[in-house]
Every structure is written in C-alpha cells, then in structure tokens.
Amino acid sequence: MGEVTQNKEGWKGKILSGLFWRFLEQISYQGIQLIFSLFLLRILDTEEVGAVSVISIFITIANTFIQSGFSQALMQKKEIKEEDYSSVFYLTLALSGGIYLLFYGISPFVAEFYHLPILESLLRQMSILLFPGAVISIQMAYAGRALQFRPIFLASFFSSLFSGVLAVFLAYRGYGSFAMAYQQISYYFFTMLILFLCLPWRPKLLFRLSSLSSLFHFGWKILFSGLLDQIWQNIYGLVIGKRYKVEELALYNRGEMFPKLLSSTLSTMISGVMFPAFSKLQEEKGTLQEMARKTIRFSAFLLFPILFGLMAVAKPFIILLLTKKWIGMLPYLRFLSVTYLFLPLHMCNLQLMNSQGRSDLFLKLEIIKKILGIGILLLTFPFGIFVMLFGKNVGEVLCLYLNAKPNEKLIQYGFFSQINDCLPSFTASLLMGGIVYLTQEMLEKRGMTELWQLMVLIPLGAICYILFSLLLNRKDIKTLLELNPLKRKGM
C-alpha cells in the first residue's frame, strides 16, 4: 500500500513539474507570437494577411494528416521500442514528401480558385515546413512520454523569438505576405534543431511494418478524427475566403486569434500533461474522475473571466493594439470568444477517452459531430457570416454534450456534472463582463482614450471577478491554491 501511495505521489510530482514547464512553454510561445503578430499586423494590410491565412489552412490540415495519429499512438502505447520511433519517423517523412509534391502541383489551381496569383508561390514555399514538422512530432512524442517538458519550452521559446525577429525584419523590408510565411518556416526548423540538441533520441536505421501495424491499430482512428476536426475547424475560413473577399477572411482569422490563443494555450498546456497522466492511471477510475473534475473546474476558473473580459473590452483593445484599420474584426472577436469558451472541456473529455484506449468512441464521435456541424453550416450559410457564427456556437454546446456522454459511463462524469462544475465560474465571469462592458460604454461616451479605458477596465474586471468568486466559487479558489508549488514544498 505504501509503495502504491509513493508511486502516486511520484506521478503527482511529475505532473506538477510538467504543468509548470508546459505552462511556461505555452505562455512564452503565445506571448512572443502575439507581440510579433501585433507588429506584423500594423505593417501589413488585410489582403496580405488574408493570403497567408488561406495557405495556412492547407498547411494545418496537411500537418494533422502527417503527425496526428502516430504521435498520439506513440504516447499511448504501454511499451515502446526504438523501432517504433524510427519506423514512424521514416513514414512521416515519406508522407511529407508526398504531400509537398501534391501541393506543388495544385498550387496554380489554388491561386486561380481564390483569384490571388501570390498563392501559387506561397503554397509551394510554406509546404517546406511539412518536413521539420514531421520530425518534431516524433521528438514531441518522445519528450511527452517521458514528461520532459523543459526541452519543449526551450525549443518553443527560442524558435518563437528567432522567427519573430526575422518576420518583422522582412516585413519592414517589404516582403509582405512572405514575411509571415518565412516566420512559420523558420519556426519549424529552429524548433527541430533545438529539440535535436536537447533530447537524446536519434532516428536509427530501423523500419518495421509490424511496429507501424500495431501503432496504426490505435493511431488511424485518431488520425482520421484529427483530420476531420482540422477540416471542420478550417471550413469556415475556406467558405469565407471563397464567398467573400480575402480581407474578410483576414478579419475573421484575426478576430479568432485572441480567443483561440487564450483558450488553446490553456488547453494545450493541460492536455499535453494530462494525457500521459490519464494513460498511466487508466485503471483507477476514482482517481481519474477526481483529476478530470479538478482539471475542468481549474480550466473554467482561469479561462472564463479572461474571455468574458476580452469581449467586454474588445473595442478599445483592438484600436489600441492594431489601429482602427482592424476594427472590422470586433464582431468576429466577440462571437469567437464564445466559441472558444469550452475548448478546454472538449480537450479534457477527449483525452479521457483516448487514455482509456477508446479511440473507437473518439472516431465515432468525431464523425457524428462533423455531420451535425455540416448540417448547421448548410442551414446558416445563406443568411450571412454572423448567422453562421451563431450556429457554430450552438454546435459547440451540442458537441460538448456528445464529447462528455461516453465519460458518463467510463468514469461517471457526464455533461451535466461538468456544466454544474463550471457554473460558478461562468456566473462570476458573466456578471464581471456585464459590469466591465457597461463601464466601457460610459467611458467611451465621456471621450476617454483607449489606453485609459483599458487601465480602468482591466483592474475593475479583476476586482469584480475575485469578489464574485469569493461569493460563488470558493471551491475553485481552494483548488488553485493547492496547486501552488511553494505551498506543496512547504508541506
């Protein structure tokens, strides 16, 4: 019994350390990316940003196809061998080469489809990053399996810095869309190089079809569902980019940038650590349920006030950071902040299913959700962009219900239990957001500058949320305090 307790404590220590480094990695990466994005958006016009946005959709989907299934399978497999890593390494490189040739060939047709000649060269050049991306997926699987998140932090931090400086330099030199393209390409190459220096893993001259076969049994379902998810996430961008101008796509993407950054940072940080932890504890249902509840409450407690606050201060925030030429992204930012409210809950539910080896459920759910989403898109598409986005938000709630349903049976933690756990944070955040929004309207009418508005509104929002949380949500404050590493050391 003592050995089991000691083992659990050891895993808690590793998980806490992993959360710390994952948090640093995500905060530094997203923070640096945000700073350089602000510089680039001030320099570039909406058409140049929109062109890169179109190509990024193709690259994102291709990266998912190359990386998603097998890297997850490498992390989930109980016993891993060197031949598993090396076999996946060579396979992903081969897939990268095939997709690169495909994109090279179709690039003229993509440019013609969107009536933008620059897309031909952009797609051909940005496709190069598929090769380092394939290598990074294996390196990340190796590091994640061992809960070695410090090298990932170092790679992310320095790569973001180097690639960001390069992009701003090129933008000032008049490279336009290619400044953003080279930022992404250089980020991938720098990350691959730094991980190569920091991690002991090296590919061997080993290739076993038997290794790929065992990994494929789990990984193909994750791959297919991940591919469906990426296509679905980007389908609105594809529709907007084709039906409307690429400038409108740029406003949509930039409106999505801030809520997605905030939500995905928290989701990636938590899921990157919790999936290995959930996998190790997959036989202990009670511990899994407790860990899942704390993860979801903790995510809601941190994310909800940030996104509600962002919706409330969106107007002065956009004008101050990006200038008035980007004010058209205001309604997009508010709609998409609602969309990303529940992303950490989605991630937690899906990671729980994967940790139980239920990739069959994962795949079935993805197919059902995409059919539902396409139905909503077809219904709302004729009525304009914002009706489409409203339908997208309705779909997110329905998808959360579907994601949570299997965990009601697996660990007795379903949709309504999860919503109940989030309700105190949601209520406190909604009240805070309402007060901040009304105050912002009043300050704007009095002629206060955007900078002074934010200097008043941000502290006001923080104070309101703390007060409402003390009234409604003491349990999550206690959970947050328990995660304090200094307190744990003192204990």
Render 5-63 in DSSP notation, one character per residue: HHHHHHHHHHHHHHHHHHHHHHHHHHHHHHHHHHHHHHHS-HHHHHHHHHHHHHHHHHH
- The tally of CA atoms less than 13 A away on the side-chain side of residue 392 is 22
- With respect to residue 363, please indicate whether it lies within any of the assigned structural domains: yes
Q: Pick from 243, 265, 300: which residue ends a domain? A: 243
Are residues 288 and 184 part of one domain? no
Residue range(s) defining the domain that contains residue 404: 283-491
Are residues 350 and 235 part of one domain? no
Mean pLDDT of the chain: 82
Q: Among 113-122, 222-231, 474-483, which is the least confidently predicted range?
A: 474-483
- Name the burial class of residue 406, with classes exposed (0-12), middle (13-18) and buried (19+) by CB atoms within 10 angstroms of its CB: buried
User: Is the model more confident about 443 or about 264?
Assistant: 443
- With respect to residue 323, please indicate whether it lies within any of the assigned structural domains: yes
Q: Which residue in 239, 242, 254, 248 sits closest to 116, CA to CA?
A: 242
User: Is the model more confident about 374 or about 289?
Assistant: 374
Are residues 459 and 406 part of one domain? yes
User: Is the model more confident about 189 or about 294?
Assistant: 189
Q: Among 131-135, 286-290, 392-396, which is the least confidently predicted range?
A: 286-290
Are residues 313 and 197 part of one domain? no
Are residues 334 and 227 part of one domain? no
pLDDT for 1: 47
| Mean pLDDT of the region 5-22 | 61
User: Is the model more confident about 261 or about 479?
Assistant: 261
pLDDT digits (tens, 9 = 90+) for 153-191: 899 899 999 999 999 999 999 888 899 999 999 999 999
| Mean pLDDT of the region 397-414 | 83
Secondary structure (3-state) at 199: coil
Residue 358 phi/psi, 5-degree rounding, is: -95, 55
* In contact, 284 and 405? CB cutoff 8 Å: no
- With respect to residue 256, please indicate whether it lies within any of the assigned structural domains: no
- With respect to residue 226, please indicate whether it lies within any of the assigned structural domains: yes
| Mean pLDDT of the region 314-326 | 89
Are residues 287 and 235 part of one domain? no
pLDDT digits (tens, 9 = 90+) for 97-111: 999 999 999 999 999
pLDDT band, residue 428 (cuts 50/70/90) = very high
pLDDT band, residue 485 (cuts 50/70/90) = very low
**In the numeric block, which tokens belong to residue 301?**
């407690």
Task: Report d(CA 84, CA 459) in Å as an integer.
Answer: 51
pLDDT for 382: 84
Are residues 329 and 221 part of one domain? no
Are residues 360 and 485 part of one domain? yes
**Count: domains in the chain:** 2
Are residues 297 and 232 part of one domain? no
pLDDT for 4: 44
| Mean pLDDT of the region 429-433 | 95
| Mean pLDDT of the region 240-245 | 78
User: Is the model more confident about 261 or about 274?
Assistant: 261
pLDDT band, residue 137 (cuts 50/70/90) = confident
- With respect to residue 356, please indicate whether it lies within any of the assigned structural domains: yes
Number of other residues whose CB lies within 10 A of the CB of residue 456:
17
Task: Report d(CA 419, CA 406) in Å as an integer.
Answer: 15
pLDDT for 316: 93
Are residues 189 and 80 part of one domain? yes
Are residues 85 and 234 part of one domain? yes
Q: Which residue in 198, 57, 226 sits closest to 140, CA to CA?
A: 198
- With respect to residue 179, please indicate whether it lies within any of the assigned structural domains: yes
pLDDT digits (tens, 9 = 90+) for 197-217: 988 888 888 777 767 777 777
| Mean pLDDT of the region 231-239 | 81
Are residues 304 and 226 part of one domain? no
pLDDT digits (tens, 9 = 90+) for 187-201: 999 999 999 998 888
User: Is the model more confident about 89 or about 408?
Assistant: 89
pLDDT at 262 over 70: yes
Task: Report d(CA 461, CA 483) in Å as an integer.
Answer: 24
**Most confident region among 45-49, 92-96, 414-418 by mean pLDDT:** 92-96
| Mean pLDDT of the region 329-344 | 90
| Mean pLDDT of the region 260-287 | 64
In the chain, what percentage of residues exceed pLDDT 70? 83
pLDDT digits (tens, 9 = 90+) for 48-106: 888 898 898 899 888 888 876 677 777 766 677 777 788 888 888 998 999 999 999 99
pLDDT digits (tens, 9 = 90+) for 223-234: 777 777 778 778
pLDDT at 15 over 70: no
**Most confident region among 74-78, 343-347, 420-424 by mean pLDDT:** 420-424
Q: Among 126-135, 206-215, 318-327, 436-445, which is the least confidently predicted range?
A: 206-215
Q: Pick from 189, 219, 243: which residue ends a domain? A: 243
Q: Pick from 243, 275, 307: which residue ends a domain? A: 243
pLDDT band, residue 132 (cuts 50/70/90) = very high
- With respect to residue 365, please indicate whether it lies within any of the assigned structural domains: yes
- With respect to residue 133, please indicate whether it lies within any of the assigned structural domains: yes
Task: Report d(CA 42, CA 82) in Å as an integer.
Answer: 47
